[in-house]
Amino acid sequence: MAVCFSGSWFVFACGSKLGAADTARNRSMCFQTQLLCPGVIATCPQLDRDPFVFDCSTAEKKPRSMKDDNSEGGETGSDRILAFAASPSGKLVALTDDNKRLVLFECEPAWRCISIRCVVRRCTSLLFSRAEDELLVADKSGDVYSFSVVEPQAEGELKMGHLSMLLAVTMSPDDRYVITADRDEKIRVSHLRSPYNIQSFCLGHQQFVSALLVPSGRPRWLLSGSGDGTVKLWEYESGRKLQSCELEEADTQKVNLFLQNESECTIISSPDARHVAVQCERVSTLQFFSVDEDSEDKLLPHSRLVLPHCPLDVTFDPAGRLWALMDCDDEPIRVYSHRRDRWEPETESPELNRVCETFRPHWDTLEASARSSSRFDHLYKVTYDNVAAYLQKKQQRLEEQQLKRTKAQEANGSKKAKKSETS
């Protein structure tokens, strides 16, 4: 389950379906205008923006030859959406599913499928370049492929690779650097046009890195979230760590769970760069940070928002409101606005009503286990303390060797005593 905004479209991935609902505020104003001035309504472009739903189970299947060439141990994939992304302008959306298909959409002025291409391995993250001329695809084998947007039928080009599974990818605002994070705690900063030229590494996490963000208004900053329960701030061009924040849980009933399992997290930034929100998996509290105006290299804890249920994903809309998708049948989506230095829920929102009308039918058919299943539980490294056993065995060997030496010395001493007696 994941959500994001593409322009005024609220986009969600629910199982094998990608859906979108328009949240433009002036749409409700157009309906009011229609009642008063019927002749004016023809000039309102927002009235034709119907909800959009794309079902991967009915999409074009991969050619049989591609299945044979790129099969992963004979596995047969499902149609579940693994990742999706929206372009910076909100005009393009891309998704990839468990059947190793890459689907490109145009959502302005209306939704349409541009192309369906095949990827070599199952993907973990997608990203459009700022120029929106290419789409970067990171996969489970650690490779990054570049797919052309200008030539939507062209095959992908291998750009770079890691030695372990890639979990996140982002780019600098000037499209100069591509930043990748993997399961082995490494963050690599490479030149986009020549990825073999590595600019820096950002090292310091103790578990897999699953979230990367260059916050709005801070083009030289990089925020990273990890399974070790920390969010770190970097100056990514030099690889210098500026700050490390331990994520804390406000709900005392879940403190032990949070500390034992640590947690994977998601990081998002509001469009006006005032708020950075951190969502931790299986934790109902969102933590907000703000930029320290007196310091160029520091984030300040700002506030916390306790949700009624654990969030599955969160996102900001273009107006800076926070949308939270929660694991709840009665009220799966909530909208919050920042007023009087705190986040307050919106009780009456026509935009939310339109989104729920599109979202609810697909949410009700999705099994509860599929909603809350973690993508990262299997990525935590299991450590074995074999040092103590090694030291114990070593001590036993030393004691045995010492005992043998003592017996040998006693035996030699007794032999010499007998010789002296006989002489």
**Mean predicted confidence (pLDDT) in 356-365:** 84
pLDDT category at 277 given cuts 50, 70, 90 is: very high
**Residue 253 pLDDT > 60:** no
Contact 127, 172 (CB under 8 A): no
Give Cα 7 distance to the centre of its chain: 20
Q: What is the pLDDT of residues 392-403, one digit of tens each?
A: 888 888 888 888
pLDDT given at position 385: 65
Closest by Cα among 212, 203, 214 to 239: 203
Confidence of residue 98 (pLDDT cuts 50, 70, 90): very high
CA atoms within 13 A on the CB side of 294: 1
pLDDT in tens, 119-150: 999 999 999 999 999 999 999 999 999 999 99
Determine contact, residues 169/136, Cβ cutoff 8 Å.
Answer: yes
Q: What is the mean pLDDT of the chain?
A: 82
- What is the sign of the dihedral through the CA atoms of 243, 249, 255 and 258? negative
Q: Does the pTM exceed 0.85?
A: no
Q: Output the pLDDT for position 293.
A: 67
Domains of the chain: 2-17+30-60+77-250+260-405 (2.130.10.10)
CA-CA distances (angstroms) from residue 297 to 223, 234, 248? 12, 8, 21
Residue pLDDT, tens place only, 171-224: 999 999 999 999 899 999 999 999 999 999 999 998 899 999 998 888 999 999
